[in-house]
Amino acid sequence: MTAQKTVLFVINTMNVGGVEKALLGVINKFLKDNWEVHIGMLKVGGDFLPYLPKSVIVHSIDGFDEVKPILHTPLRESAKNYLKKWHIFEAILMLIFYASQKISGSSKTLYNYGLKRIPMFSNQEFDLAVAFAGPDAFIDTYVSKRIKAKEKWGWIHFDITKFGIDKGIIQQEYKNYSRINIVSNDAKDIFDKNFPAFTDKTAFQPNIVDSDSILTMADEDLNIIKDKNKTIILTVGRISQEKGQYMALQSLKEIIDTGIRNIEWWFVGTGSDYKRCHTYVMENNLSEYVKFYGVQTNPYPYMKACDIYVQPSLHEGFCITLAEAKLFKMPIITTDFTGAKEQLTDYPKYRIIRYSISEMNSALTAFIKA
């Protein structure tokens, strides 16, 4: 009898987000193929944690909390803190890492030092270990150096030119990976251009969207109150600067100022830019046109209820909420981030626009009047 294969996915936590939702889909695929699935988290928790299948074995990554201050505190500040405690050797070491970082443009020397202070994950050798939240400096290095596995994969979820990635760590650690999955062809082309040495390892691997489960969950009764006389616009996702909700609200104000008032914009999610967005709503008297629904582990009844879906992001890789919105066959407006065109190629009702208030106004007005 053939032994069951084992896979370990490493991720930060299971908060509600696109990467975490993508992992749920991938885990289900591995379970269907009869793998024993493990997941290692830097912090065990998150609203999606209960959605992990019961057979998944959950682990906490030992040692991360101890090295986090070393890795995430500015190095000159760390040196000063050590000097205050008369830890001269550690202070000198931080200054050496600082000099190395300035010269090379990479923190790989610091991460090599930090990872040596963390124990190996376990004595178990997995058939496959996956750095799922990539590129991520800590997780990429951890999977490369502290996990025993016959094969190791990276998994990239975004356009690497839009984030401050550490190229030195990618060049160092991805040598130990046999495969690098990238969620859109556009993002893959960008990665290949920046890291030509790894083109033989990269593979296009779109995120898995479980359409049957989504359509079933959409029928859940959440007591959503919808004014049938209004056009309902929906945006789902973390409320942050790169997701574009603030620009969406600016567009909404301008549309209302033109005299179009039979509209309501729903926002599902929360995040670092929520306070700024909420303040904008209050200062511009938009309360009757905007609803913030907070984090929802099941956003699909909102998708089912809305008339137009809008994704105003500055950048994405493979936008899961866009793929999910397509299942409900409503008009979609999206900004022209990496992967948007390939996601909507065969979809009949969409507009792809620049990240622009005026273009958002034009697209929304056309759909509302239609």
- For 219-267, what is each residue's pLDDT tens digit? 999 899 899 999 999 999 999 999 999 999 999 999 999 999 999 999 9
- What span, in angstroms and rounded, lies between the C-alpha atoms of 157 and 133? 7
Average pLDDT on 116-130 reads 95
Joined together, the tokens standing for residue 359 give 């273009």
Q: Which CATH architecture has domain 212-369?
A: 3-Layer(aba) Sandwich (3.40)
Residue 370 has a pLDDT of 83
Joined together, the tokens standing for residue 159 give 């356009």
Res 84 pLDDT > 90: yes
* Beta pairing, strands 350-353 & 126-134: unpaired
Residue 163 has a pLDDT of 83
Secondary structure (3-state) at 74: coil
Average pLDDT on 54-72 reads 94
Q: Which residue bears the tokens 């909507």?
A: 344
Contact (CB, 8 A) for 131 and 101 = no
The values of phi and psi at residue 333, to 5°, are -120, 130
Count other C-beta atoms under 10 Å from residue 322's C-beta: 25
Res 183 pLDDT > 80: yes
Strand ranges for the chain from DSSP E: 6-11, 36-41, 57-60, 126-134, 149-156, 179-182, 202-204, 231-236, 263-268, 290-294, 308-311, 332-335, 350-353
Joined together, the tokens standing for residue 16 give 């509600």
Tell me the pLDDT tens digit for each residue of 273-289. 999 999 999 999 999 99
Q: How large a percentage of the chain has pLDDT more than 90?
A: 92
- What span, in angstroms and rounded, lies between the C-alpha atoms of 127 and 4? 10
Q: Which residue bears the tokens 């359509």?
A: 215
3 — pLDDT class (breaks 50, 70, 90): confident
CATH class (in words) of the domain with range 6-62+119-204 = alpha beta
Residue 1 has a pLDDT of 57
Residue 312 has a pLDDT of 97
162 — pLDDT class (breaks 50, 70, 90): confident
- What span, in angstroms and rounded, lies between the C-alpha atoms of 36 and 354? 44
Quick check: bond before 135 cis, omega within 30? yes
Burial (CB count <10 Å: 0-12, 13-18, 19+), residue 125: exposed
Average pLDDT on 5-27 reads 95
Count other C-beta atoms under 10 Å from residue 259's C-beta: 6
Res 105 pLDDT > 90: yes
Q: Which residues contact 15 (CB under 8 A, 6 or more apart)?
A: 45, 46, 47, 48
Output Rg (C-alpha) for the chain, integer angstroms.
23
- As annotated, the residues of the chain forming the CATH 3.40.50.2000 domain(s) are 6-62+119-204, 212-369
Angle at 318 between CA 251 and CA 146, to 5 degrees: 130
Average pLDDT on 301-326 reads 95
Residue 317 has a pLDDT of 84
